[in-house]
Amino acid sequence: MGGNSPCASCKLLRRRCAKDCVFAPYFPPDDPHKFAIVHKVFGASNVSKMLQELPVQQRADAVSSLVYEANARVRDPVYGCVGAISYLQNQVSQLQMQLAVAQAEILCIQMQQGPVLPTQLIDEDDHDKSYFLHDNLIPQYSNFDSSSGTVIHDSFKKESIFRPDMVS
């Protein structure tokens, strides 16, 4: 940085901040903790080497990753980021299992409360009688599945067209 205020790394290392300081763009003087934690985990020399080997456009992302990994290493010295990722993956798996159980319970409840299929309601002698209310169909019903006695809305939701007093 040169000039009045040295970057956080030069301030922590108690050295003069040169104009071409590799740390200055990424470790501003107003955030000294950011460099302190990276220095504690990786060391200033190693971080300097890593940054100098990278193209300038990738350095900001690398510093962000180093800060994240250093924070993870301080919280969990053995596993670091891998520990956090593993924990989150386990949590996702548990939530997926809970979701599957809840969906199965919903399906069971719907099956217990659902209407009886029309093939069970109609006697063999009653095929000529029409239980469907063709005159009362609302125009929003676009398809009729005669095998199941349901009407399919434009939104693809099925609805029974039998009157409630017809279903026992």
Please tell me the predicted confidence (pLDDT) of residue 48. Answer: 93
Taking the complete model, does pTM exceed 0.75, yes or no?
no
Residue among 116, 110, 107 nearest 164 (CA): 116
Question: Predicted confidence band at 5 (pLDDT cuts at 50, 70, 90)?
Answer: confident
The residue to which tokens 């005159």 are assigned? 135
Over residues 25-63, the pLDDT tens digits come to: 999 999 999 999 999 999 999 999 999 999 999 999 999
Q: Is residue 148 over pLDDT 90?
A: no
Please tell me the predicted confidence (pLDDT) of residue 52. Answer: 93
Over residues 72-118, the pLDDT tens digits come to: 999 999 999 999 899 999 999 999 999 999 999 999 999 998 765 55
Helix intervals (H) in the chain: 8-13, 32-42, 44-53, 56-75, 81-113, 118-121
